[in-house]
A and B are shown apart, each in its own frame.
Chain A
Amino acid sequence: MNNTFQTILVIITVGFAVLFLVKKFLWKPRKNSNNSCGKDDCGCH
Chain B
Amino acid sequence: MSKQINVALIGNPNTGKTSVFNALTGLNQKVGNYPGITVEKKEGLCKLPRGVKAHIIDLPGTYSLNASSIDENVVIELLLNKNDKDFPDVAVLISDVENLKRNLLLFTQIKDLKIPTILVINMADRMNRKGISINIPLLEQRLNTIIALVSTRKNEGIQYLKDLIKNYKELSLKPCLDTSTIDVEYFKNLNNAFPNQDLFKLWLVITQDVNFGNVERQEIDLSQFKTKSHSELKRLQQKETIKRYQFINAVLKEGQTIDTSKATGFRAKFDRILTHKVWGYVIFFIILLTIFQAIYDWASVPMDFIDASFASLSDWIKNTFSSGVFTDLLAEGIVAGIGGIVIFIPQIAFLFLFISVLEESGYMSRVVFLMDRVMRRFGLSGKSVVPLISGTACAIPAIMATRNIENWKERLITILVTPFITCSARLPVYLIIIALVIPEGRLLGLSYQALTLMLLYLIGFGMSVFSAYILNKVLKTKSKSFFVIEMPSYKIPLLKNVAITVVEKTKTFVFEAGRIILAISVVLWVLASYGPGKSFTNAETIVRSENPSLNTIELEDKIAAHKLEYSYIGIIGKGIEPVIKPLGYDWKIGIALVTSFAAREVFVGTLATIYSVGSADAEQDDTIKNQMAAEVYPNGNKIFTLASGISLLLFYAFAMQCMSTLAIVKRETNTWKWPMIQLFGMSSIAYIVALITFQLLK
Residues of A within 8 A of B (CB): 2-3, 5-7, 9-10, 13-14, 16-18, 20-21, 24-25, 29, 32, 34-42, 44-45
| Given known A2-B322, A3-B325, A6-B324, contact A35–B213 (CB-CB < 8 A) | yes
CB pair B659–A25 under 8 Å, yes or no, is yes
Q: How far is the CB of A3 from chain B (nearest CB, A)?
A: 6
- A-chain residues with CB within 8 Å of residue B663 when the two chains form the complex: 29
Determine if B526 is an interface residue (Cβ-Cβ < 8 Å).
yes
CB pair B408–A42 under 8 Å, yes or no, is yes
Q: How far is the CA of A24 from the CA of B348 in the complex (A)?
A: 24
CB pair B523–A36 under 8 Å, yes or no, is no
CB pair A14–B526 under 8 Å, yes or no, is yes
- B-chain residues with CB within 8 Å of residue A42 when the two chains form the complex: 408, 412, 669-670
| Given known A37-B70, A42-B669, contact A21–B523 (CB-CB < 8 A) | yes
How many interface residues does B have (CB within 8 Å)? 38
Q: How far is the CB of A44 from chain B (nearest CB, A)?
A: 4
- B-chain residues with CB within 8 Å of residue A32 when the two chains form the complex: 667, 670
| Given known A14-B526, A21-B523, A29-B663, contact A38–B326 (CB-CB < 8 A) | no
- B-chain residues with CB within 8 Å of residue A38 when the two chains form the complex: 69-70, 405-408, 410-412
Contact of B668 among A37, A39, A41 (CB under 8 A): A37
- A-chain residues with CB within 8 Å of residue B406 when the two chains form the complex: 38-39
Residue among A6, A10, A38 having the largest count of chain B Cβ atoms under 10 Å: A38
A to B contact number (C-beta, < 8 Å): 95
| Given known A42-B670, A45-B211, contact A24–B408 (CB-CB < 8 A) | no
Closest 8 CB pairs of A and B: A38-B408, A6-B324, A6-B326, A17-B522, A17-B519, A44-B670, A9-B326, A42-B408
Contact of B519 among A9, A21, A29, A36 (CB under 8 A): A21
CB pair A37–B523 under 8 Å, yes or no, is no
| Given known A35-B670, A36-B668, contact A17–B523 (CB-CB < 8 A) | yes
- B-chain residues with CB within 8 Å of residue A37 when the two chains form the complex: 70, 408, 411, 668-670
Interface residues of B in 646-698 (CB under 8 A from A): 659, 663, 667-671
Q: How far is the CB of B165 from chain A (nearest CB, A)?
A: 27
Q: How far is the CA of A45 from the CA of B314 in the complex (A)?
A: 55
Q: How far is the CA of A24 from the CA of B667 in the complex (A)?
A: 16
| Given known A21-B519, A25-B598, A41-B408, contact A7–B668 (CB-CB < 8 A) | no
Known: A10-B325, A37-B668. 14 other contacts (CB 8 A): A3-B325, A25-B598, A25-B659, A32-B670, A34-B213, A36-B70, A36-B403, A36-B670, A37-B70, A38-B70, A38-B410, A39-B68, A42-B669, A45-B211
